[in-house]
A and B are shown apart, each in its own frame.
Chain A
Amino acid sequence: DTGVSQNPRHKITKRGQNVTFRCDPISEHNRLYWYRQTLGQGPEFLTYFQNEAQLEKSRLLSDRFSAERPKGSFSTLEIQRTEQGDSAMYLCASSLGQVASTDTQYFGPGTRLTVL
């Protein structure tokens, strides 16, 4: 168990550029979540995958955001035409997908995005 990994750890980009983040969940974890955390706030849910199927997207996820999880393994989160308001820490979490009493989300270290 190597934990959830995310790459890159930091990304600085100019407004209008596209960026892509990668998340590698704990192996055999069926569920994968993306959250966004801004300074002084708790993480906010963005989207959720059960295996390769994207089952829920938050209203926070505008049309400029897209997420994929091909083959139910790693996931990517792409932001097109970045805006300064996209600057945040993007967190990925995975869980086994068991019943509520045992399902626990494990978080990666996050990707910090700065849009200039």
Chain B
Amino acid sequence: GDSVTQMEGPVTLSEEAFLTINCTYTATGYPSLFWYVQYPGEGLQLLLKATKADDKGSNKGFEATYRKETTSFHLEKGSVQVSDSAVYFCALSDGEGSNYKLTFGKGTLLTVNP
């Protein structure tokens, strides 16, 4: 079945540091890939998405590129801020055959210190 493996946390960085959170996936079809973010006390929010190979999703300074050859969708940001502290979830949707349901990784807690 489908699965998502993402970097174990927690990750602690200083403000303005470079961020990478690794995500790899296993899927039977050609999935769409997502990063969701959960800020403290809030619900899941879509951060970015990519729907086909070599697509790059970007939002709020975060980027991730859909790499079919390595089945990866790593999240990056060049300069993190304290306000980026949150839990980040990588997810996939395996298309119409799976009713577009999302399969999530376990999440990575990011803490950014001033």
Chain A interface (Cβ < 8 Å from any Cβ of B): 4, 31, 33, 35, 40-45, 48, 50, 55-56, 91, 93, 95, 100-101, 103-110
Contacts and interface: CB of A to CB of B under 8 A. Distances in A.
A89 to B, nearest CB: 10
Interface of B: 4, 32, 36, 42-46, 49, 51-52, 89, 91, 93, 95-96, 99-107
B77 to A, nearest CB: 20
B102 A43 contact: yes
B46 A101 contact: no
Given A43-B89, A91-B44, 15 more contacts: A31-B100, A33-B102, A42-B107, A44-B104, A45-B101, A48-B99, A48-B101, A55-B99, A56-B99, A100-B93, A103-B32, A105-B46, A107-B43, A108-B43, A110-B43
B51 A101 contact: yes
Contacts of B42: 109
Given A100-B32, A106-B46, A42 B100 contact: no
B64 to A, nearest CB: 15
Contacts of B100: 31, 95, 100, 103, 105
Contacts, number: 62
18 contacts: A31-B99, A33-B101, A40-B106, A40-B107, A42-B91, A43-B104, A48-B99, A48-B101, A91-B43, A93-B102, A95-B100, A100-B100, A101-B52, A104-B46, A104-B49, A107-B43, A107-B45, A110-B43
Nearest to A45: B101
A40 B42 CA distance: 15
